[in-house]
């Protein structure tokens, strides 16, 4: 009963424009910077199922290619955009409306080297 109500509330919160959270998530920071929901999601807001964002969409605004993006983080001790994992989806690490996760952390401890937000 309680769990159902909370799930319903969570769904309402997720689908509203206001993703209230203590730390603004990636999508909110984008909206603040003037990026529209449609720029990540496309114009079809009625599509069913979990919506994700393809790396091509992210790259259209962030350098054009993975290689160009990797240049930006090349001064870091470990480059998260140039590794043996190759050109994986951005959302493996950068989540839209959730806390980010560092995919590398499944196998390495880069907690000193990398700080994803
Ligand atoms: C329509 C253009 C656009 C799209 C699409 C876009 N971004 Fe951005 N992104 C921006 C702008 C503008 C900023 C803020 C200025 C800056 O830091 O470059 C930004 C900032 C960022 C930042 C650094 C600043 C922060 O708040 O963390 C990351 C990381 C990022 N974007 C990742 C992504 C990912 C991942 C995607 C795809 C899921 C994406 N972006 C899609 C335009 C875009
Ligand atoms: C393996 C995890 C991972 C993947 C996959 C990933 N990123 Fe990142 N990204 C990071 C981390 C970690 C940082 C922060 C690096 C730091 O400063 O410690 C970052 C930082 C950034 C920044 C800020 C760069 C700056 O100038 O400081 C942008 C923009 C960004 N990522 C975009 C993308 C886009 C676009 C993709 C997909 C093409 C992507 N990332 C894929 C982990 C990842
Ligand atoms: C920077 C790109 C970006 C922007 C801007 C963005 N989103 Fe998202 N959104 C994502 C990603 C990535 C996902 C996939 C789930 C995740 O990573 O949180 C997603 C998932 C969703 C979902 C599905 C719920 C889920 O977790 O699967 C909804 C609904 C949604 N977004 C609505 C919006 C609305 C409304 C806006 C504008 C206020 C917006 N998004 C802006 C990247 C973005
Ligand atoms: C599924 C497990 C796994 C994941 C996920 C993973 N790695 Fe690795 N990584 C390994 C293994 C295994 C090695 C080789 C053994 C070693 O040297 O530790 C390695 C080696 C490395 C090395 C040193 C060896 C070299 O020559 O490149 C670096 C740097 C590295 N990984 C970075 C990354 C980064 C950055 C990520 C995330 C983008 C990542 N790894 C994700 C398992 C993984």
- Confidence at residue 4, expressed as pLDDT on a 0 to 100 scale: 57
Q: Which ligand is nearest to the CA of 38?
A: 3
> Could you tell me the pLDDT band of residue 63, with boundaries at 50, 70 and 90?
very high
- Confidence at residue 23, expressed as pLDDT on a 0 to 100 scale: 79
Q: Is the model's pLDDT at 102 over the cut of 80? A: yes
Q: Are 50 and 57 in contact (CB under 8 A)?
A: no
The CA distances from residue 52 to 40, 49, 64, 68, 103, in Å, are 9, 9, 19, 23, 17
Q: Please compute the mean of the pLDDT values over residues 53-79 and round it to a whole number.
A: 97
11 or 54, greater pLDDT: 54
d(CA 114, CA 78): 7
**Residue ranges of domains in the chain:** 25-40+52-117
- Confidence at residue 17, expressed as pLDDT on a 0 to 100 scale: 40
- Confidence at residue 84, expressed as pLDDT on a 0 to 100 scale: 98
Please tell me which of 10-14, 37-41, 72-76 the model is most confident about, judged by mean pLDDT: 72-76
**Ligand 3 near 57 CB (within 6 A):** no
Q: Is the model's pLDDT at 34 over the cut of 50? A: yes
Q: Are 92 and 86 in contact (CB under 8 A)?
A: no
- Cα of 53 vs centre of ligand 2, distance in Å, is 15
**Ligand 1 near 88 CB (within 6 A):** no
Q: Are 90 and 55 in contact (CB under 8 A)?
A: yes
- Cα of 9 vs centre of ligand 3, distance in Å, is 17
- Cα of 67 vs centre of ligand 2, distance in Å, is 12
């Amino acid at each position: 009963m309680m769990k159902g109500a909370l799930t319903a509330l969570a769904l309402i919160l997720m689908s509203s424009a206001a993703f209230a959270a203590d730390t603004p998530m990636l999508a909110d920071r984008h909206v603040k910077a003037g990026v529209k929901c449609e720029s990540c999601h496309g114009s079809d807001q009625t599509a069913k199922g979990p919506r994700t964002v393809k790396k091509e969409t992210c790259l259209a605004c962030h350098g054009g290619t993975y290689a160009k993006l990797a240049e930006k983080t090349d001064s870091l001790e470990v480059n998260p955009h140039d590794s043996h994992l190759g050109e994986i989806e951005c959302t493996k690490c950068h989540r839209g409306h959730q806390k980010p996760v560092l995919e590398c952390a499944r196998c390495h401890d880069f907690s000193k080297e990398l700080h994803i937000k």
